[in-house]
Structure 1
């Protein structure tokens, strides 16, 4: 087997996913744009959704599984009048309820939304990427199988009404809501449950992710026009994105780090025993180590170095 050629580009970047394409499509576009085969993403977005998607290129693909991204923020349009089998506007209607005029009342809408704040259990959409006996749920649903997924814990920290409008085609009310939620929360399922709580039926008609962890929409690049130069100029700081303390290493220490050997930790390190630390050399992330007494023990070593470290 031929040895993999070292990547010329090793970095994390955030892109603004366009409407109508899959997360896999975005990865393919980035791969072509930066001329690197090793590209991956963290946090899938549905084709209907747009917004923040974090991409790893080269060695930085190894960081994707380390990103916690515990919180996500979205702006969603919740369209009342009917539910669909996918819980969004791409699905087939499954339940119709004539919208009541009370759905145009902002105070009432805020009362309904406030009932979803805090920790709860959510039943994910049948059309989701959750595996059931090794098969993706959406594949079972598309083949006509009945899919019943177990509820799982989520947390909604914000559900703020932005506006209530009238859909020009259906004449139905649409709530535009800003959500902040825990990782693994389905906004489509929230829209379904909000519709029921309001005594109606609803689905998501538009969805935009505005933040993933600490990465916001303002840090995103457009996929169209992306190239290696712009990716390098706008690369995410991998240390900040991982939310780790950084410790600089010298040339001599770098040799040991690249061989996976432990090295001495500096005195007065502001992290606890067992914590992870990012080891940085000349503006590049070279390893993630674990604090073990007065030593750094290597856990992940990056021979080529991941660009973008600032400060």
Structure 2
């Protein structure tokens, strides 16, 4: 009997690591073959894209998708982690925080929109000489990461309000961010604080979209029914790429690695779908001929037996 096969959208709760979610889904679905496309920090919530069975092959194509976030940035203090989980490095004077006008805020946000050379947070998962940066920081090492080119397509201020934190004053700013893969929203919070001379860090982060997959379609972990929640491989692939509808003969030939004649326009990647709705694979089309990039096994899609588990 084959195991579960498809894409699962989970609404990750706060205080769970992405690995925690994968481990739980493995137990629920009764399979070890579960992977995710893009880590979410423990404090973050929102859509986490998981691949089960052969559909883990699709995760490579999900990882590079753009992402959308809703976040709250607290201006007034920096932290060691650029978010609320880190140690506060000191507070800016109240008058400096209150001097942040809507116009100054909008101007600083504009300068952090578009193509940027962003330095990742030191506690990120970026590897330095084969070891995760966050592991080096936690070991007491001083880490300096190189900037990387990212794109922030949208950085919208939704709301702002003054907040009292003990004896200090902060400005909490709710934002919406649409960005390329590899962008750190924590780093945007840090850099916004630097630009406004107040320091800044994240206090809330929710991922609302990964490529075509929205948090509105994600399932909570509580009472998760994997069988009903799984997106079939063909549906998931067709959300990522244009669909190439095949005849039975074309599906057989393409599945055997043959180049086939098709009526589709040139495309770097298409989701090749058999008449019965099965995902044959991902294919490229050039000059009226399609060739396979990744094949998918022609096996029945069944779910494993759910198991009772605890976290």
Query: Which TM bucket (shorter chain)?
Result: 0.7 to 0.9
TM-score, L = length of structure 1: 0.87
TM-score, L = length of structure 2: 0.87
Question: After the TM superposition, which residues 24-35 of structure 1 pair with which residues of structure 2 at under 5 Å, given as runs?
Answer: 24-35=19-30
Deviations 1:106-133 (A, max 9, x none): 3332222112111121111110100111
RCO higher in structure (CA 8 A, sep ≥6): 2
Match of 1:226 in 2: 224
Deviations 1:179-238 (A, max 9, x none): 111111101011001001112111101101111112222121112111233223798822
Residues 142 and 68 of structure 1: is their aligned pair in 2 closer, same or farther, counting only changes over 3 Å?
Answer: closer
1:137 maps to 2:133:
yes
Length, aligned pairs only: 297
Structure 1 gaps, min length 5: none
Of residues 100-109 and 212-221 in structure 1, the stretch that sits farther from structure 2 once superposed is 100-109
Distance 1:201 1:32 in 2: 42
Residues 292 and 116 of structure 1: is their aligned pair in 2 closer, same or farther, counting only changes over 3 Å?
Answer: closer
RMSD of equivalent CA atoms = 2.3
Question: After the TM superposition, which residues 54-203 of structure 1 pair with which residues of structure 2 at under 5 Å, given as runs?
Answer: 54-67=49-62, 69-99=64-94, 100-102=96-98, 105-170=101-166, 171-203=169-201
Q: Per-residue deviation at 1:74? A: 0.8
> SS of 1:46's equivalent?
coil
Residues 137 and 236 of structure 1: is their aligned pair in 2 closer, same or farther, counting only changes over 3 Å?
Answer: farther
Residues 132 and 16 of structure 1: is their aligned pair in 2 closer, same or farther, counting only changes over 3 Å?
Answer: same
Residues 236 and 217 of structure 1: is their aligned pair in 2 closer, same or farther, counting only changes over 3 Å?
Answer: farther
Deviations 1:234-264 (A, max 9, x none): 98822233223322231x4444444x33142
Distance 2:97 2:89 in 1: 22
Structure 2 gaps, min length 5: 302-311
> SS of 1:303's equivalent?
coil
Distance 1:195 1:108 in 2: 12
Match of 1:21 in 2: 16
> SS of 2:107's equivalent?
helix
Match of 1:278 in 2: 271
Residues 126 and 290 of structure 1: is their aligned pair in 2 closer, same or farther, counting only changes over 3 Å?
Answer: same
Asked if 1 retains the 8 angstrom alpha-carbon contact of 2:73 and 2:203, the reply is yes
Distance 2:91 2:124 in 1: 22
Distance 1:33 1:103 in 2: 52
Asked if 2 retains the 8 angstrom alpha-carbon contact of 1:244 and 1:277, the reply is yes
Match of 2:261 in 1: 265
Of residues 126-135 and 160-169 in structure 1, the stretch that sits farther from structure 2 once superposed is 160-169
